[in-house]
């Protein structure tokens, strides 16, 4: 059997559903009885992702005890989950470098920006492709041994990824593992974790409302599903109603919950803690790591030191979030913001950070945007972004797709239909943008590569350019893959291409 990396990716992609389910879940599912009736509650469809996970782990030979031995930090939230996980990972690695514990830190996040193996990291390095493929086939082969299965009885795409991460971390013998939920928490496939060491909730807001509900109370209820008795819980500051739900769920589960405000001891004026939301994310991470080490660091009994914290922050990197790539006169500001809360923060970060850069005048300022979704109100998201950027000198707006380039479109579609006219969504975005910024030049590009090339041409005509790329992690991932070079020097989330 072909067991190449390409074949492994095909196995993973073969578990994607053609479309989201539209039928109600079976009334007999006992897990659903836990969900209260809330205003703006969730409208679940299909089978909750948590179902089947224990059975499949049993088939893989992994007991609850083997999962508990991973010393898991479980993180849920709406915004800042990935950054918080990356801060936890970085601070733990800094402590481990000084004390010897932990020596191996596993990190599971989603989605990936460019390559699927980015989702599963050990000591922040994505799993090597040969190992990634090896573990995919181990999981697939073990799950196939119990006999033939139809699509509905096998793990779906994200369930398979969660199983793969657990299998990998057990096989590799990590000392600590950080797991980011996919969506929600209560019914998320990662919630098969029964005894995490610590749990954390990042900033909550309205997102994935079809699955999690259209009220902040419903969102909070789902996210708090990761709370487990015996595991301390930490949360970023929340709206009053969300905080009340978190407190109630923590009390019901016998969990100690602490709300974490920005830590005043964090270093000031450091790129890795800009914008201010990163100070909140880092503060939650810091409280989480301290609790983890208090429970688990029996080998050295060494508390987290100020040098651990500083090194952890200094080496922090989370591609695609508040990331600046500088290539001579071209400055690219990338952020995977994709909901109303996050795009306004992305705009604020761009406006503040771009003013701090040294660049030759005159400067063209450009927005490259794409958001293709049925999970949120895309027009409302873009309206928030346009309002946040209004009156700040954006001269050009380029609307594109998620297609990286012409070649990728041809691979994904044997009979490619390159966008010849703007899509309905793009026309809506253009209307919103003209209303907010009537003097802006608007363009439509069918590929990300085309959008970048147009931005470069505009920059060359002006002399230099500052471009904000936002709206989706799919857009940012495609842009980063095109902007990457083999010769880069990196500091935090700033990359400068060598001249």
In the predicted model, is pLDDT for residue 133 greater than 80? yes
In the predicted model, is pLDDT for residue 89 greater than 80? yes
In the predicted model, is pLDDT for residue 415 greater than 80? no
Mean pLDDT for 116-128 is: 97
Question: What pLDDT score was predicted for residue 302?
Answer: 72
Question: Does pTM surpass 0.75?
Answer: yes
In the predicted model, is pLDDT for residue 487 greater than 50? no
Question: What pLDDT score was predicted for residue 207?
Answer: 67
Question: What pLDDT score was predicted for residue 20?
Answer: 58
Determine phi and psi for 405, rounding to 5 degrees: -160, 180
- Count Cβ atoms below 10 Å from residue 264 Cβ, excluding itself: 8
- Count Cβ atoms below 10 Å from residue 225 Cβ, excluding itself: 22
Of the pLDDT bands very low, low, confident and very high (cuts 50, 70, 90), residue 221 is very high
The C-alpha atoms of residue 105 and residue 89 are separated, in whole angstroms, by 7
In the predicted model, is pLDDT for residue 29 greater than 70? no
Rg (C-alpha) for the chain, rounded Å, is 23
Mean pLDDT for 214-226 is: 90
In the predicted model, is pLDDT for residue 145 greater than 50? yes
Question: What pLDDT score was predicted for residue 201?
Answer: 98
Contact (Cβ atoms closer than 8 angstroms) between residue 217 and residue 38: yes
In the predicted model, is pLDDT for residue 492 greater than 70? no
Quick one: angle between helices 157-172 and 5-13, nearest 10? 130
Of the pLDDT bands very low, low, confident and very high (cuts 50, 70, 90), residue 359 is confident
Question: What pLDDT score was predicted for residue 16?
Answer: 84
Nearest to 124 by CA among 319, 333, 336, 334: 319
Burial class (CB in 10 A: 0-12, 13-18, 19+), 362: exposed
Mean pLDDT for 154-172 is: 96
Question: What pLDDT score was predicted for residue 328?
Answer: 86
Of the pLDDT bands very low, low, confident and very high (cuts 50, 70, 90), residue 489 is very low
Taking CB atoms within 8 Å and a gap of at least 24, the contacts of 387-391 are 387/436, 388/343, 388/344, 388/347, 388/348, 389/347, 389/350, 389/351, 389/436, 389/437, 389/468, 390/436, 390/437
Contact (Cβ atoms closer than 8 angstroms) between residue 136 and residue 164: yes
Contact (Cβ atoms closer than 8 angstroms) between residue 179 and residue 90: no
Contact (Cβ atoms closer than 8 angstroms) between residue 282 and residue 265: no
Question: What pLDDT score was predicted for residue 112?
Answer: 93
Helix, strand, coil % over all residues of the chain, rounded to 5? 45, 15, 40
Question: What pLDDT score was predicted for residue 497?
Answer: 43
Question: What pLDDT score was predicted for residue 3?
Answer: 86
Question: What pLDDT score was predicted for residue 413?
Answer: 46
Q: Which pLDDT tens digit goes with each residue over 280-335?
A: 999 999 999 999 999 986 655 578 999 999 999 999 999 999 999 998 889 999 99
Mean pLDDT for 168-191 is: 95
Per-position DSSP letters for 42-78, written without gaps between them? ----S--TTTTHHHHHHHHT--HHHHHTT-EEEEE-S
In the predicted model, is pLDDT for residue 193 greater than 50? yes
Say which DSSP state 290 is in: H
68 Cβ contact list (under 8 Å, min separation 6): 194, 195
- Count Cβ atoms below 10 Å from residue 126 Cβ, excluding itself: 18
End-to-end CA distance of the chain: 46
Contact (Cβ atoms closer than 8 angstroms) between residue 377 and residue 408: no
Q: Which pLDDT tens digit goes with each residue over 417-452?
A: 455 688 999 999 999 999 999 989 999 999 999 999
Of the pLDDT bands very low, low, confident and very high (cuts 50, 70, 90), residue 337 is very high
Question: What pLDDT score was predicted for residue 242?
Answer: 95
252: alpha, beta or left, given left = phi > 0 and alpha = psi -120 to 50?
alpha
Lowest mean pLDDT among 151-155, 234-238, 249-253: 151-155
Of the pLDDT bands very low, low, confident and very high (cuts 50, 70, 90), residue 496 is very low
Contact (Cβ atoms closer than 8 angstroms) between residue 15 and residue 156: yes
Report the SS3 class of residue 363: strand
Q: Which pLDDT tens digit goes with each residue over 41-83?
A: 555 545 778 889 999 999 999 999 999 999 999 999 999 999 9
The C-alpha atoms of residue 103 and residue 175 are separated, in whole angstroms, by 7
Question: What pLDDT score was predicted for residue 447?
Answer: 95
Q: Where are the beta strands (DSSP E) in 51-161?
A: 72-76, 105-108, 120-122, 125-126
């Amino acid at each position: 059997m072909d067991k190449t990396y390409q074949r492994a990716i095909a196995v993973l992609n073969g578990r994607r559903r053609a479309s989201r389910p539209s039928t109600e879940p079976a009334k007999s599912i006992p897990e659903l009885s836990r969900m209260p009736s809330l205003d703006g509650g969730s409208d679940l469809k299909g089978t909750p992702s948590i179902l089947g996970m224990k059975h499949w782990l049993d088939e893989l030979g992994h007991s609850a005890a083997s999962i508990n031995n991973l010393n898991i930090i479980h993180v849920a939230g709406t915004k800042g989950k990935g950054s918080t996980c990356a801060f936890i990972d970085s601070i733990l690695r800094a402590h481990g470098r000084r004390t010897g514990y932990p020596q191996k830190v596993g990190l599971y996040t989603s989605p990936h920006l460019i390559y699927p193996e980015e989702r599963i990291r050990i000591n922040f390095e994505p799993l090597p492709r040969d190992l990634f493929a090896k573990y995919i086939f181990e999981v697939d082969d073990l799950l196939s041994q119990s006999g033939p299965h139809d699509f509905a009885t096998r793990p779906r795409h994200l369930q398979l990824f969660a199983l793969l991460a657990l299998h990998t971390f057990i096989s590799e013998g990590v000392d600590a593992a950080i797991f980011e939920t996919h969506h929600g928490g209560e019914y998320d496939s990662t919630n098969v974790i029964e005894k995490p060491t610590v749990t954390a909730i990042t900033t909550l807001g309205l997102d994935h409302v079809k699955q999690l509900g259209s009220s902040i109370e419903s969102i909070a209820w789902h996210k708090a599903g990761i709370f487990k008795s015996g595991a301390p819980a930490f949360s970023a500051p929340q709206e009053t109603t969300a905080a009340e739900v978190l407190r109630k769920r923590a009390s019901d589960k016998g969990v100690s919950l602490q709300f974490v405000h920005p830590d005043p001891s964090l270093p000031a004026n450091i790129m890795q803690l800009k914008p201010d939301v990163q100070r909140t994310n880092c503060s939650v991470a810091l409280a989480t790591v301290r609790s983890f080490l208090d429970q688990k660091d029996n080998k050295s009994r060494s508390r987290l030191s100020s040098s651990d914290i500083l090194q952890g922050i200094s080496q922090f990197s989370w591609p695609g979030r508040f990331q600046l790539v500088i290539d001579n006169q071209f400055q690219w500001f990338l952020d995977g913001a994709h909901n109303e809360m996050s795009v306004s923060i992305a705009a604020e970060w761009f406006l503040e950070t771009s003013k701090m850069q040294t660049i030759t005048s005159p400067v063209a300022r450009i927005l490259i945007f794409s958001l293709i979704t049925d999970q949120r109100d895309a027009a409302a998201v873009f309206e928030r972004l346009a309002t946040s950027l209004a009156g700040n000198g954006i001269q050009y707006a380029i609307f594109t797709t998620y297609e990286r380039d012409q070649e990728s479109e041809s691979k994904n579609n044997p009979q490619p239909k390159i966008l010849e006219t703007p899509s309905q969504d793009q026309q809506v975005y253009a209307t919103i943008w003209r209303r907010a910024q009537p003097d802006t030049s608007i363009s439509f590009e069918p590929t990300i590569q085309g959008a970048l090339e147009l931005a470069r041409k505009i920059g060359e005509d002006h002399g230099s350019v500052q471009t904000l790329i936002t709206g989706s992690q799919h857009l940012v991932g495609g842009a980063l893959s095109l902007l990457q070079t083999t010769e880069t020097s990196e500091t935090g989330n700033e990359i400068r291409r060598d001249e």
